[in-house]
Amino acid sequence: MLPLPNLDTCLDAADQALRTLFADPTSQRTNPAQKTPSELSEQDSETSAALMRVNHAGEVAAQALYRGQQLFARDPAVRERLNQSAAEEQDHLAWCSQRLRELDGSPSRLNPIWYLGGFSMGALAGLLGDRASLGFVAETERQVVEHLHDHTTRLPKDDARSRAILEQMAVDEAEHGRAALLGGGVPPPMPVRRVMAVAGEIIRKVAYQL
């Protein structure tokens, strides 16, 4: 039987959306770049800011994705696993936000669209069942890890602070993917993976500019 979220769950989802889009994010863990020095030229700062804006937009979408999946999760254990991963993604969002401010950068102006898209995809995955939902997490995180590794090579060589953040994010994302597979996740079919990759590329290209 299709799990229908109750009013409290829907209100909580709405509250989380508003917090993600409009509140200053906070992290439970120490920023991995806290003790890392970084002196950048104006041009390198602009490059790093654009790259970190992309990663910030990705974390906005990740928050939405997990919240959408939680809305329709059947098994309480799966819902809790999604909640734990979302909490770590909240750390990532806070770290990226802090780094953007340090670089005098700004978040993507299209964050509400990224959130809506991520939430819709997460809700759809949740409706397909817990195993499909966890498989969607595993594939998403696999693609995100590839993206993060690419960005660590594209950062200016002196931007050790941004690199430290992305490296820790990659470790966390890989762990989320492994946990999803161990929890019984079934990876989506190849056509769906390709659509996911295209959607991710659209976010990266647009958020780099906007």
What is the tens place of the pLDDT at every residue in 103-124?
999 999 999 999 999 999 999 9
Distance CA 53, CA 118 (A): 17
Residue 165 lies in a domain: yes
- Residue 69 within a domain: yes
Instruction: Count structural domains, the chain.
Output: 1
- 65-92 pLDDT, tens digit per residue, is 999 998 888 898 888 888 888 888 999 9
Is residue 48 domain-resident? yes
Three-state DSSP class for 29?
Answer: coil
Residue at 60 is within a domain: yes
Domain of residue 78: give its range: 42-209
- Which residues contact residue 192 at a Cβ distance below 8 angstroms, ignoring those fewer than 6 apart? 139
Confirm whether 185 is domain-assigned: yes
Q: Which residue has the tokens 């890392």?
A: 36
Amino acid at 14: A
Q: CA Rg, the chain, in Å?
A: 17
pTM of the predicted structure, to 2 decimals: 0.92
In a domain, 49, yes or no: yes
Q: What is the CATH number of the domain that holds 109?
A: 1.20.1260.10
58 within domain boundaries: yes
Task: Provide φ and ψ at 118, rounded to 5°.
Answer: -65, -40
Residue 35 lies inside a defined structural domain of this protein: no
